[in-house]
Amino acid sequence: MAELNTAGQDGITVRTRHQDGTPVISVAGELDLTNAKEVRSAIEAVVSDHGQLIVFEVSDLTFMDSSGIALLASVTRQVLRDPTPIVRRLIEMTGLDKVLRMTP
């Protein structure tokens, strides 16, 4: 299990694990331009083939800016698990609910 903790004022915590062979990256805190690279390196660490499904666990993601959206959208197949209302609404308002699928 890899863990990356960035010590910023708007800290973000990124944890990676595997569930039934599917990489699950949990992102907690505030995802923005200043720390998007932490999540990017977590993604790059688990992507083995291009069409692979990646699950983002975002139940503790309290904020995401356009850089965060760009980052999540750059993955070919992804699911956002259990998004907060803030993130869910942001994705809906950005017209990305077809691209960034959310469960439930």
Partner 1 sequence: MRRPAARLPRLAGAARGRIGLRGAVLAVVVVGLVLTAVLAVVTFRGHQRAESRLLGLQTRLIAAAGQAADQLYVQDHLGGAAAVAAATGGSVTEFRKAVAGIVTAKGPFVSASLWQLSGASPRLVAAVGGKPLLAPGAARLAALLRQSAASKTFVVTKVTAPGAVRLAFAAAASGSHGRFAVYAEEPLPVNGRVSDPADSPIGPLSFAVYLGRSTTPGMLLETNSAGPLPLRGTTFTTGFVFGNTFVTITTSPRGSLSGPVSQVLPWAIVAGGLLLTFLAALLAGRLVRGRDDAERLSREVRELYLEQRSVAETLQHALLPSRLPAIPDMVIEARYLPGATGVDIGGDWYDLVPLDGGRFVFKVGDVSGRGVDAAAVMASLHFAGRAYALEGYTPQVILDHLAQTLDVAENGHFATVLCGLVDIAAHTVRLANAGHLPPVVSSEGQSAVVPVKPGPPIGIPDGSPYEESMVTVPPRGVLIAYTDGLVERRGEIVDAGIKRLQEAASHDCGSLGELLDRIITELTGDSPADDIAVIGLEWQN
**Site residues for partner 1 per CB under 8 A:** 10, 30, 33-34, 62-63, 65-67, 69-70, 73-74, 76, 85-86, 89-90, 92-96, 98-99
Nearest distance in Å: CB 65, partner 1? 8
Closer of 85 and 104 to partner 1 (Cβ): 85
Length reported for the chain: 104
Nearest distance in Å: CB 1, partner 1? 27
Closer of 3 and 33 to partner 1 (Cβ): 33
